[in-house]
Structure 1
């Protein structure tokens, strides 16, 4: 899977010229295997990207975060990305929606921390009687505060990956029989359970960026479109244009 990040080239239709934009990714301090399609995998990109790791911001510490304990390190890392040339910033963890407002207010470039920001827009786009559901890395960790930070309704249907499964163990860097197929099977099963519990779901948002490589399988298995962080990445990296004077 190829991401939609920062694919700008000179020239274009309509007498306009697009400047190259560089995506900056705020990375958790992790070492697990990332598959193509994951925002943290360099091979997911065909355009300019810069990664900035936030020391000690492990998955275990950030999943479910609802306080400002790591805000200062993320603000500083965002500043470093801008200094290195980033013109738009995203993150490798959907739970960083907790810092969306602070990062956007502090940094001089567009910031999209989490796919959860898509929920209000998708809710407006769905037919009457349909709702947006969320598949998350941790059902216990995803709180009402995270939904509120994204502008989502408090009663948004949510399901998480199995607590003792391979997927969670791999991301938390615990011993397990990790592999693409094992992760995908758990992701698909969790998505099916989400839709079974709330059949009115018309679209699924994938909170966890590590779910992106499995987006197509989730959509196929549930019969619902599945959305991850990449549409937001495309939006924040497509905002710079200027007129071309001949």
Structure 2
């Protein structure tokens, strides 16, 4: 499980950001309501959790398709199917341990529902099923470009500090940051093995954004679909991968190949 922890550590960090950002949105919504109540001379909002505000703060995340991480994570090639139950239990325990660390760091009593293992598992599962590879420009390179554009005197002063770092980094200072991202619109799109669109991310697109590109003409009123898996895989392999999403694909391509 140590290797699994190393490989999934980033997904725990992303889940922690989801929870912390939701708490911040909740706090802002509550502060706004308190101000409005003060202006209207109405009774103040209670110090206790307001579930309606918490649900409002949760709304940007709620649209993503979510299954519990330990239910949807793909079985590694080196794990026999007979050991699947034990593997998924280990994954659940890994999530539980991560959640306890998160609670110790940022637990908020008013937002307690966010810290349940069920919610945490669904957040991680959301990223497991909906993430999209992306590339972001190196912030270090952007910083050095900013230094280059400074007036001469300021540039000289700045380079006295930054030049040793630039020398130490060498050519690596311009390496782009690669990772995964969650995009709400993409996460709401249904699957088809013969999709009419693709969630696209070119290496030269370094703004952290994703683009949906039509793969052909799309008629007015026609549903826009993407493929959750490699649609060129054989029928059986596609169905096995899609089982992690909790459905059996019945798109025209699958219906034709099944028969």
TM (norm. structure 1) is 0.26
Computing the radius of gyration from Cα coordinates, the structure with the larger value is 2
Looking at both structures, which has the greater relative contact order when contacts are Cα pairs under 8 Å and sequence separation is at least 6?
A: 1
TM (norm. structure 2) is 0.25
